[in-house]
Amino acid sequence: MRVTRGDRKGTEGKVTRVDQKSYRLFIEGITREKVDGTTTLIPIHPSKVIITSLDLDDKWRKTSLKAEPIAKKLEKPKEKQEKKKREPPKKMRKKKKPRASTTKRTKKVKTEKNEGPESG
């Protein structure tokens, strides 16, 4: 592994530990000395690292690299679905009820006003 960012840029080493909870790598040779004198490994984010060489000693590692990527397996069914895929129905807006015209109300109010002073 080669570190590409930060204070330790350009240093190389093997991965000694992977912390899956905090998503960090610990690389051999990248250490910090504490106040009490002990040395500790510095956690490094995987996006700041380049893989320079792979250890292919295991049979399992070789076969896992030769296996077809999962992404390609998932794409094949999607192509079939796209042919059959229909457009979703458009959402219909609710039609608003027409308002009662205000002219009828105003006529009623005017007639009531006109009747009121005449009767009194």
Answer yes or no: is pLDDT of 1 > 50.
yes
Of 56, 53, 55, 25, nearest to 41 by C-alpha is 25
Tokens (6 digits) for 98: 């027409």
Asked if CATH classification 2.30.30.30 holds for the domain at 2-66, the reply, yes or no, is yes
Of 38, 44, 45, 41, nearest to 29 by C-alpha is 41
Answer yes or no: is pLDDT of 25 > 60.
yes
- pLDDT of amino acid 38: 94
Which tens digits make up the pLDDT trace of 48-98?
Answer: 999 888 888 888 888 887 777 666 666 655 555 555 667 777 777 777 777
Beta bridge partners of 17: 26
Query: Per-domain residue ranges for the chain?
Result: 2-66
- pLDDT of amino acid 120: 47
The whole-model pTM stands at 0.49
Answer yes or no: is pLDDT of 103 > 80.
no
The whole-angstrom distance between residue 93's C-alpha and the CA centroid of its chain comes to: 31
Answer yes or no: is pLDDT of 117 > 90.
no
- Which letter does DSSP use for residue 15 in this model? E
